[in-house]
Structure 1
Amino acid sequence: MNFVALDFETATHERNSACELGICVVENSEIVETKTWLIKPPSFPYFNPHNINVHGIHPKDVAHAPTFDEIWYEIEDLLYGNLMIAHNASFDAGVLRSCLDYYGIFKPKTEYLCSIQIAKKSWKNLTSYGLKNLANCHDIQFTHHRAGADAEVCAKLSLLAFERLLITENDELSALFSKNLKVL
């Protein structure tokens, strides 16, 4: 399996307000790299107090961080040609789309899949398919709501789910997840 797991944290309710991004790169079913960027959002210096309470990132933490458009070339290299997986992917894909739109950047034709849908096919009848609950079920410790940690846990859970579903190649995803695969 080859894919990137991605997670955003936002400064406000606006989807273009990414303040942190984590990407975990998986090659041949192995995690090879996890990268995290703090990002200065367009709303800077304003951060919604609710968002700060969720992720703990404050305006001072991103005061000298690059804006999304300044790191896009690195992100694009990691995404190019890869399947993107995110936990609650509609949110993360929406943030990515909104950031690209805000800065007038061309959207790549990236396929993405939600790890919640993967988990629901793999582990039936759980009381919750939230990232923290799934991690607890598999004894995975992490710092929840920090983008790099969330992306890496998403990757680990996806790999465990693929193993359980006997999926060993990206091509095998289409049949099982045809209704769930989306394009950015």
Structure 2
Amino acid sequence: MPLDFTAIDFETANSSSASACSVGLVKVRDGRVVDEANWFIKPAPPHDEFMMWNTKIHGIVAADVAGAADWAGQLPDLLDFVDGDHLVAHNASFDLGVIKAATIASGLVVPDLRYVCSLQVARRTYHLDSYRLPVAAMAAGFEDFRHHDALADAEACAAIIVHAAARHEAEDLERLAHITRVKVGVIGPVATADHASSHGPMALQ
């Protein structure tokens, strides 16, 4: 099986997981980046206030997203890009939490997605003082990127997984997860039910 996945990163307007204001996506096929996408997202009320702390981190303000699609409007494009791939994110509980929270806040059904956390993979691959994305990406040979730009962060995440797979001689993402003892997480009703039937009552909800 080839090393295929989509790396994803979100930036948020405030502390609410439903306040996604930017997304970056990087598609990897057989260990190589073949496509990229990024766009602004207009957070839906009451999750649409841009907090100073968040803007200080990523530089996005309300005016930047004024003409962007809201979560309900952009979710089909996101899922079309992912096209059934496993997702990869650095601290994946945050990014998948954004998908779940923003979808629920929009009154939609949470999509069925499977994912692997590159932060956890990095912890089991490198010996570093910190496993923050810039440090782990540097260990993977990916340097000098604009941290907290959603697309750049997704590119860095993809680089970590590709490098880690080569180091562990893992032919695909699920093999890499197995070797590094990282759980393949799930969200969505069908994926969660399938995972529970395969892994027992401790499966993620």
Q: Which range, TM-score by smaller chain?
A: over 0.9
Q: Distance in 1 between matches of 2:101 and 2:48?
A: 19
Q: Deviations over 1:123-155 (max 9, x none)?
A: 1x3100000112333252211101011001100
Cα distance, 1:174 vs. partner?
Answer: 5.2
Cα distance, 1:80 vs. partner?
Answer: 3.2
Cα distance, 1:166–1:77 mapped onto 2, change above 3 Å: same
Alignment-mate amino acid for residue 95 of structure 1 = V
Q: Distance in 2 between matches of 1:176 and 1:139?
A: 23
Cα distance, 1:179–1:121 mapped onto 2, change above 3 Å: closer
Question: Which residue does the alignment assign to 2:51?
Answer: 48
Q: Is 1:61 aligned to 2:64, yes or no?
A: yes
Aligned pair partner of 2:31 in 20, 29, 32: 29
Aligned pair partner of 2:104 in 101, 106, 117: 101
Cα distance, 1:105 vs. partner?
Answer: 2.1
Alignment-mate amino acid for residue 121 of structure 2 = I
Aligned pair partner of 1:15 in 10, 14, 17: 17
Alignment-mate amino acid for residue 183 of structure 1 = V
Q: Among the aligned pairs, what percent are the same residue?
A: 34
Aligned pair partner of 1:4 in 3, 6, 19: 6
Give the length in aligned residue pairs.
Answer: 183
Q: List alignment gaps of at least 5 residues for structure 1.
A: none
Please give the TM-score of this superposition, normalised by the length of structure 1.
0.93
Q: Deviations over 1:97-144 (max 9, x none)?
A: 011111122222211111011111211x31000001123332522111
Q: List alignment gaps of at least 5 residues for structure 2.
A: 188-205
Q: Distance in 2 between matches of 1:116 and 1:179?
A: 10
**Higher RCO by CA contacts (8 Å cutoff, separation 6 or greater):** 1
Cα distance, 1:11 vs. partner?
Answer: 0.2
Q: Is the 8 A contact 2:18 2:105 kept in 1?
A: yes
Q: Which of 13-22 and 34-43 deviates more?
A: 34-43
Secondary structure of the structure 2 residue equivalent to 1:20: strand
Cα distance, 1:172 vs. partner?
Answer: 1.8
Please give the TM-score of this superposition, normalised by the length of structure 2.
0.84
Cα distance, 1:36–1:17 mapped onto 2, change above 3 Å: same
Aligned pair partner of 1:82 in 85, 88, 97: 85
